[in-house]
Chain A
Amino acid sequence: GAGVSQSPSNKVTEKGKDVELRCDPISGHTALYWYRQSLGQGLEFLIYFQGNSAPDKSGLPSDRFSAERTGGSVSTLTIQRTQQEDSAVYLCASSLTERGGLDTQYFGPGTRLTVL
């Protein structure tokens, strides 16, 4: 079946502009995660959606970052007034979250964001 897809694969923008990154999770997966990976670093958690529950936004680095998930499926991560330090690869993952299950997160290919 289809995996997690993300678009665009690459985005170059100018400092101060807003950007939207899209994630399409695996069909049937109830949980969706956004992570950020800066050059040569591990992944940094940003936000997590689980079904209809309020999202866990504890990882969002500033109020310039926001995300929504429409209809329990597709998610959009929005970065307003982009800064150069926002340059990174933004990875989306989804999982099935069965109770007591393994709950493995499956990742998309990422969006490479470059802020000039």
Chain B
Amino acid sequence: AQKITQTQPGMFVQEKEAVTLDCTYDTSDPSYGLFWYKQPSSGEMIFLIYQGSYDQQNATEGRYSLNFQKARKSANLVISASQLGDSAMYFCAMREKGRKLIWGLGTSLAVNP
């Protein structure tokens, strides 16, 4: 069974608008971490934001925020004021016990001018 599910294979957003990328996860471990990474066409994997399972507040990093709904096991990424440079693949990943990350299949985001 998929531990990380990203249901949107592709998304479009107009420049300067906000967009939400969905991520749901499955774990029975009470201690876990959720990550979002961006992968532009150049191929590098860029860390964006992190949410720990015990964090009381939603994580924010500049234009990125994470809408963490623990009971629903969702960790959606919100990008505000989209820019053309935000066009990329976005991956949600989870770390349970141990250090390796388990990855979703990604969402391709296209920002239209």
Residues 87-116 of chain A: 1 if any B CB is under 8 Å from the residue's CB, otherwise 0?
A: 001010101010000111111111010000
Residues of A within 8 A of B12 (CB): none
Instruction: Tell me whether B50 and A110 are in contact (CB under 8 A).
Output: no
| B68 within 8 A of partner (CB) | no
Cross-chain contact of A109 among B35, B43, B100, B106 (Cβ < 8 A):
B43
In the complex, per-residue mask of A20-49: 1 if CB is within 8 Å of any chain B CB, else 0:
000000000001010100000111110010
Q: Which residue of A lies closest to B104 (CB)?
A: A42
Q: Give Cα A102 to B53, complex, Å.
A: 12
Identify which of residues 54-113 in chain B touch chain A, using a CB-to-CB cut-off of 8 Å.
Answer: 91, 93, 95, 98-106
B105–A104 CB distance below 8 A: no
Main secondary structure of the interface of A (DSSP, over half): strand
| Cβ contacts under 8 Å, A97 to chain B | 99
Name A106's closest neighbour in chain B (CB-CB). B47
CA distance A97 to B99 in the complex (A): 9
Number of interface residues of B (CB under 8 A): 24
Q: Which of A31, A43, A59, A109 interacts with B44 by CB under 8 Å? A: A109
Cα A95 to Cα B37 in complex, Å, equals 15
Number of interface residues of A (CB under 8 A): 27
A50 located at the interface, meaning its Cβ lies under 8 Å from any Cβ of chain B in the complex = yes
| B45 interface residue per 8 A CB criterion | yes
Chain A nearest CB, measured from B59 CB (Å): 10
Question: Do the beta carbons of A33 and B105 come within 8 Å of each other?
Answer: no
- Give 15 pairs: A residue, B residue, CB < 8 Å, sorted on A: A33-B100, A33-B101, A35-B101, A42-B4, A43-B91, A43-B101, A45-B101, A48-B100, A95-B99, A102-B33, A102-B50, A104-B35, A105-B35, A107-B45, A107-B46
Chain B residues proximal to chain A, CB less than 8 Å: 4, 33, 35, 37, 42-47, 50, 52, 91, 93, 95, 98-106
